[in-house]
């Protein structure tokens, strides 16, 4: 499969469609190596990866549950239980973080966050190239102050998302691909005359 074929055929695998077989340490290492090739103005390497497997997934679930309790003191037990179980849906969860450096004026925070997002995409593609299903999830937990504090993040840092990785237990449904024409804007659109 060529790189272009991999890109054009990429699809997210929801955790509910994953079995309990996660990537080996060598697989994760390959994913990390792919991440390190992401575009990175200034060679800052603003990305950080936290590999969460085994019982650590339950700990992350407790962090998510506490975050929900703090956001919504009236959260139902069902909603709290859903947060507890969220990281347990895949054998491997990788938190992808952007550690932003503020002392590089020629590389603004947005560029560093985009670089970490590119690293996340490379990891996602590498996981799929190795035969795993994967999905990058964000949601409220990726923006939550309690979750960010758990990962020892500064105000300027961002959680890019949580990469869930596991073998697909069966076929993953195809998703509709949008034609790019509707997303192309002509040069000068909206420019002052």
Alpha carbons 177 and 34: distance in angstroms, whole number: 25
Identify whether the C-beta of residue 84 lies closer than 8 Å to the C-beta of residue 38: no
Alpha carbons 65 and 80: distance in angstroms, whole number: 5
> Residue 186's pLDDT is what?
87
* Domain region containing 25: 11-52+90-169
* pLDDT at 188 exceeding the cut of 70: yes
Q: Which of 159, 164, 158, 99 is nearest to 135 (CA)?
A: 164
Q: Is 84 within the bounds of a domain?
A: no
Q: How many domains does the chain have?
A: 1
Q: Is 102 within the bounds of a domain?
A: yes
Identify whether the C-beta of residue 80 lies closer than 8 Å to the C-beta of residue 65: yes
Identify whether the C-beta of residue 128 lies closer than 8 Å to the C-beta of residue 34: no
Q: Is 184 within the bounds of a domain?
A: no
Q: Where are the alpha helices (DSSP H) in 11-162?
A: 25-35, 56-71, 77-85, 109-129, 145-150
Q: Is 1 within the bounds of a domain?
A: no
> Residue 173's pLDDT is what?
86
Q: Is 182 within the bounds of a domain?
A: no
Q: Is 34 within the bounds of a domain?
A: yes
> Residue 8's pLDDT is what?
87
Alpha carbons 138 and 93: distance in angstroms, whole number: 12
What's the pLDDT tens digit per position in 69-128?
999 999 999 999 999 999 999 999 999 999 999 999 899 999 999 999 999 999 999 999
Sign for the pseudo-dihedral over CA of 86, 114, 25, 172 = positive
**What CATH number corresponds to the domain at position 151?**
3.40.109.10
Q: Is 178 within the bounds of a domain?
A: no
What's the pLDDT tens digit per position in 1-19?
788 888 888 899 999 999 9
> Residue 52's pLDDT is what?
98
> Residue 63's pLDDT is what?
98
Alpha carbons 117 and 131: distance in angstroms, whole number: 22
pTM of the model: 0.93
* pLDDT at 137 exceeding the cut of 80: yes
Which pLDDT band holds residue 47 (cuts at 50, 70, 90)?
very high
The pair of three-digit structure tokens given for residue 186, joined into one six-digit string: 């002509």
Average of per-residue pLDDT values in the chain? 94
Q: Is 31 within the bounds of a domain?
A: yes
> Residue 192's pLDDT is what?
58
């Amino acid at each position: 499969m060529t790189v272009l074929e991999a890109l054009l055929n990429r699809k997210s695998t929801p955790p509910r469609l994953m079995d309990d077989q996660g990537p080996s340490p060598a697989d994760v290492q390959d994913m990390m190596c792919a991440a390190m090739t992401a575009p990175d103005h200034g060679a800052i390497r603003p990305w950080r990866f936290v590999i969460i497997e085994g019982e650590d997934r339950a700990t992350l679930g407790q962090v998510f549950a506490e975050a929900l309790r703090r956001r919504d003191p009236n959260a139902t037990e069902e909603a709290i239980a859903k947060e507890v179980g969220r990281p347990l849906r895949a054998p491997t969860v990788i938190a992808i973080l952007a550690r932003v450096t503020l002392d590089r004026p020629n590389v603004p925070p947005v560029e560093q966050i985009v670089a970490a997002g590119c690293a996340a995409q490379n990891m996602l593609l590498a996981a799929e190239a190795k035969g795993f299903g994967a999905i990058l999830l964000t949601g409220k937990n990726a923006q939550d102050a309690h979750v960010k504090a758990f990962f020892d993040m500064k105000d300027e840092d961002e959680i890019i998302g949580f990469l869930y990785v596991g073998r697909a237990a069966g076929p993953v449904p195809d998703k509709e691909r949008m034609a790019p024409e509707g997303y192309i804007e002509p040069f000068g659109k909206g420019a002052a005359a």
